[in-house]
Amino acid sequence: MKQTIQLSDHFGYGRLFRFTMPSILMMIFTSIYGVVDGLFVSNFVGKTPFTAVNFVTPFLMVVGALGFMFGTGGSALVAKTMGEGKDEKAQRIFSLLVYATFLSGVIIAILSILFIRPITAFLGAEGELLEQCVLYGRIILIALPFLMLQFAFSSLLVTAEKPKMGLYVTVIAGVLNMIGDALFIVVFNWGLVGAALATALGQVVGGIIPFIYFASKNTSRLRLCKTGWDGKSMLRICTNGSSELMSNISMSLVCMLYNAQLMKFAGEDGIAAYGTIMYVNFIFLSIFIGYATGVAPVISYHYGAGNENELKSLLKKSSVIVLLSAVAMFVISEVLAIPLSDIFVGYDEGLFNMTVHAFVIHAFSFFFAGIAIFGSAFFTALNDGPISALISFLRTLLFQTAAVMIMPLIWELDGIWFSTVVAECLAVIVTFIFLIVKRKKYRYW
């Protein structure tokens, strides 16, 4: 029987893979059941509803991004506090951030439901597309507090040394979502409403299960308890997690900008093609994000405990894993461009050809994306929120926005497809600069 892996252990490649694999699989599965949603809507509801889902999803991710901020920022602080030997304080911080996550979700959900129509109209939706966006969005927003909890627990379960539980919860939520899609869309013929209900069901379950686990007596290092307001800790959590908040908000805003540019240069077909690419992009990037989520508490713990040699080892091994994964993703995406495009949009020859062409170009971005994703997470784990946030801001907002606004002026539609590649390449340069500049302060080289 294999011994339970603890944050305080020495991590070779084998132990690193075993500890981070549940987080990687969790992120992959989360992306896959999002893809299944798209498949059902595209093939059983229609192109306009499929476009509506892709159009409104970035906004829904923006409002749910606080969950990532509380989860990653809180995880870094809780793990560091445990590394310092202050377990009771870690419990109080953990409990405070869970309660704050849910309350924030309730407030944001109410405001978003009230204002989703003018927001989606401002972003460019009109007519039937606007109505479909509002219908889908309002149903999803009802489950927002639970989605934010699910996002937060994806990191906190790793810190609690229960990464497998995070995977199990995600699988349960995802399977319910997919069963709901088949039942509500295909059997009951509820269309877009059915797709939204299925997604909301998965999100509610994904948030409730870990909450009940931590509220009960359990075998992890963390448990919900009575706590009080701790402004200093909440500020550190928000600062630490600001990079993930920035990353998710920026990616969603950039998706909205891409949609606007694609509507201008290619109409609804452009948005449908981009949506297809993004589904696959989410799966591939989820590997990098899952690894970063899984290894971050380990880095935080050893940083808090002052184990410099372990910190150096973790950075070196993580760099090798990320680079090898990047090459593999590029090759796989090039090989699967045609069959994956056919699965989503094979029913429309013009849209299929556009999607394949865009897919082949976008694949080059996988060479670079993982480096910046891990680099940002690495600084979050070191509790250096400002540097982590700056990397995320530059990668997901500034570089992407500049590229998607400037490049289409020169290469039109192809300029949009190349934008992500250029932005990711620039983000790698910035990440290397910060790793060099900060090496003496944190002693990871």
**Mean pLDDT to the nearest integer, 209-229:** 91
Rounded CA separation 217/204 (Å): 22
CA distances from 249 to 132, 243, 358 (A): 22, 10, 24
- More reliable by pLDDT, 2 or 240: 240
pTM: 0.77
pLDDT band at 131 (very low <50, low <70, confident <90, very high): very high
**Mean pLDDT to the nearest integer, 368-385:** 91
Q: Identify residue 315 by its one-letter amino acid code.
A: L
| pLDDT of residue 284 exceeding 90 | no
**How far does CA 158 lie from the centroid of its chain?**
16
* pLDDT confidence of residue 1: 41
| pLDDT of residue 109 exceeding 90 | yes
Which of 62-71, 159-168, 201-210, 422-431 is predicted least confidently? 62-71
pLDDT band at 382 (very low <50, low <70, confident <90, very high): very high
Mean pLDDT of the chain: 88
| pLDDT of residue 255 exceeding 80 | no
* pLDDT confidence of residue 3: 59
pLDDT band at 118 (very low <50, low <70, confident <90, very high): very high
Number of other residues whose CB lies within 10 A of the CB of residue 309? 10
Q: What tokens does 265 get?
A: 């240069």
What are the residue ranges spanned by the domains of the chain?
A: 16-442
Which of 32-41, 181-190, 270-279, 325-334 is predicted least confidently? 32-41
**Mean pLDDT to the nearest integer, 202-217:** 93
* pLDDT confidence of residue 34: 67
Which of 11-25, 92-106, 341-355 is predicted least confidently? 341-355
The three state secondary structure string of 365-383 is HHHHHHHHHHHHHHHHHCC
DSSP code per residue over 250-295: HHHHHHHHHHHHHHHHHHHHHHHHHHHHHHHHHHHHHHHHHHHHHH
pLDDT band at 324 (very low <50, low <70, confident <90, very high): very high
| pLDDT of residue 103 exceeding 90 | yes
Q: What tokens does 90 get?
A: 């870690």
**Mean pLDDT to the nearest integer, 281-285:** 84
Rounded CA separation 124/121 (Å): 5
Rounded CA separation 275/57 (Å): 10
**Mean pLDDT to the nearest integer, 422-427:** 95
| Residue tagged 């939706």 (tokens) | 125
* pLDDT confidence of residue 54: 77
| pLDDT of residue 412 exceeding 70 | yes
* pLDDT confidence of residue 303: 92
Rounded CA separation 180/167 (Å): 20
Number of other residues whose CB lies within 10 A of the CB of residue 269? 18
